[in-house]
A = this chain, B = another copy of it.
Amino acid sequence: MVHAGIVGGTGYTGVELLRLLARHPQVSLKAITSRKEAGLPVAELFPSLRGHVDLAFSDPAQAGLESCDVVFFATPNGIAMEQARALVAAGVRVIDLAADFRIRDVPTWERWYRMPHACPELVAEAVYGLPEVNREAIRAARVVANPGCYPTAVQLGFLPLVEAGLVDPDQLIADAKSGVSGAGRKAEVGSLFSEAADNFKAYGVPGHRHLPEIAQGLARAAGRPVGLTFVPHLTPMIRGIHATLYGRVARRDVDLQALFETRYANEPFVDVLPAGSHPETRSVRASNLCRIAVHRPQDGDTVVVLSVIDNLVKGAAGQAVHNLNLMFGMPETLGLEGVPVLP
């Protein structure tokens, strides 16, 4: 039995992590901390957890996190980097669902996240927690940087093409659409129902924080820097990301469908759909799956990849549990077998 703690956990990533861990047969949740909500039973904040989670939020100072086997950070950016050093020193393994350890180049991180980094030495050590790329490194990691939601959907869609050198790495376009839960549970006007419902918009076109993270992952796969245009959009649904990816392919003699199927043949959480498919976000709702389809319209020079995930599961809490399973030598799918909820 793995003893786990959660720092933060009053947001959507937190409640989703609790939903998954509550049914995980090999994880025992020891503590969940919130300075603001200390003392409040978790199930009062999230009535969906009544009968499943008996813990109350505890003050970070009294939570005893250092006696856990693993601690998840479901916090805003900038928290994990302050606390990870002490936990790691105490032998606790850390999975950060925020962005603190995702970017290997610290100055780049500091520029995009607009704060000095408090723990550069763990950045160097941290493993980027995309199991489809770093499975073995994750098993041994002391610190796992759980990927962002957009980066997960975009990288999984582009990787087979980039790894095989089949697309021009200077002309990658990722047009991504996210449900509103991606903005978190913060009280902000832009996330209000009456602002976001029956509406569609792009945002962050001049530059979004997930751009360097995606570019880093694709550059690693390409073995050289990439030129990426990334345009995120907000779509009026709760959960889900749909990435529509465009690349220029020079060769016409490659079976792209086979390429994708082969690349992900042994991946439990990546499902390459039959040729001609259009994956729907709801087909992965509440599950850890990424479903992908690849098209070459009118048999032309542009390849179009469609990649969908649930941003709170494969894009956050589910991938974190997958990483936990890897880190503690458990079957990869443990606690993640739930069937997508449709409709």
Q: Which residues of B contact A57 (CB under 8 A)?
A: none
Whether the Cβ atoms of B200 and A297 lie closer than 8 Å is no
Q: Is A251 an interface residue (CB 8 A)?
A: no
* Bound-complex Cα distance A120 to B116 (A): 56
Whether the Cβ atoms of B173 and A46 lie closer than 8 Å is no
Chain A, interface residues (CB within 8 Å), range: 35 or more
Q: Is A278 an interface residue (CB 8 A)?
A: yes
Interface residues of A in 284-343 (CB under 8 A from B): 284-287, 289, 291, 295, 297-298, 300-302, 304, 306, 308, 312, 337-343
Whether the Cβ atoms of A22 and B339 lie closer than 8 Å is yes
Whether the Cβ atoms of A342 and B15 lie closer than 8 Å is yes
Whether the Cβ atoms of A198 and B282 lie closer than 8 Å is yes
The residue of chain B having its C-beta at the shortest distance from the C-beta of A175 within the complex is B175
Instruction: Give the segment of A85-93, A141-149, A232-240 that binds chain B.
Output: A232-240
Instruction: Give the segment of A125-133, A159-167, A202-210 that binds chain B.
Output: A202-210
* Bound-complex Cα distance A177 to B289 (A): 24
Number of this chain's copies in the assembly equals 4
Q: Is A189 an interface residue (CB 8 A)?
A: yes
Q: Which residues of B contact A286 (CB under 8 A)?
A: 286, 341
B-contact bits for A1-31, CB 8 A (1 contact / 0 none): 0000000000010010001001100000000
Q: Is A180 an interface residue (CB 8 A)?
A: yes
Q: Is A252 an interface residue (CB 8 A)?
A: no
Q: Is A231 an interface residue (CB 8 A)?
A: yes
Q: Is A52 an interface residue (CB 8 A)?
A: yes
* Bound-complex Cα distance A173 to B173 (A): 10
* Bound-complex Cα distance A27 to B233 (A): 39
CB<8 Å pairs between A and B, sample of 16: A23-B339, A48-B282, A173-B302, A185-B195, A187-B188, A193-B193, A197-B238, A199-B240, A199-B281, A200-B240, A200-B280, A201-B281, A205-B297, A205-B304, A229-B297, A229-B302
Closest 9 pairs (CB-CB, A-B): A48-B340, A48-B342, A180-B193, A193-B196, A199-B282, A201-B280, A47-B283, A187-B187, A175-B175
Apart from A19-B342, A50-B271, A194-B343, 9 more pairs, CB < 8 Å: A47-B277, A48-B284, A48-B341, A181-B194, A200-B235, A200-B237, A201-B280, A205-B306, A207-B297
